[in-house]
Amino acid sequence: MKLVPLFDKVVLKQLVAEETTKSGIVLPGAAKEKPQQAEVIAVGPGGVIDGKEVTMQVKAGDKVIYSKYSGTEVEIEDEKYVIVKQNDILAVVE
């Protein structure tokens, strides 16, 4: 089963927050914020959307930061994904 996004939609998979901070402190559950880093799983074709040409600038495999509160969470075969518009992706992490 595969998700094929429409238009400027991008399928993301959140990266698991690391359990320890850089300085080695183990974070209890409540101290771990919802991570905003995600890996790009699939990218829509872009094209003319709402009368405007949109070029896709991310590709599958990119690690990205995306905007808090954006996107729709979906669950397919017990795997969770977030589908966002490309415009809700803020930066690529290299």
Is residue 48 part of the contact set for its own copies (CB under 8 A)? yes
CB-based contacts of 93, cutoff 8 Å, min separation 6 = 37, 63, 64, 65
Closest approach, Cβ 13 to its own copies, in A, equals 13
Q: How far is CA 67 from CA 25, 35, 83, 94, in A?
A: 27, 11, 12, 18
Closest approach, Cβ 82 to its own copies, in A, equals 10
Q: Which of residues 66-85 bind its own copies (CB under 8 A)?
A: 67-68, 72, 74-78, 83
Q: Is 65 helix (H, G, I), strand (E, B) or coil?
A: strand
CB-based contacts of 52, cutoff 8 Å, min separation 6 = none
Q: Which of residues 28-47 bind its own copies (CB under 8 A)?
A: 33, 36-37, 42, 44
CA dist 92 and 11 (Å) reads: 15
Is residue 15 part of the contact set for its own copies (CB under 8 A)? no
Binding site for its own copies (CB under 8 A): 1-7, 9, 11, 21-23, 33, 36-37, 42, 44, 48, 50-53, 55, 57-58, 65, 67-68, 72, 74-78, 83, 86-87, 89-94
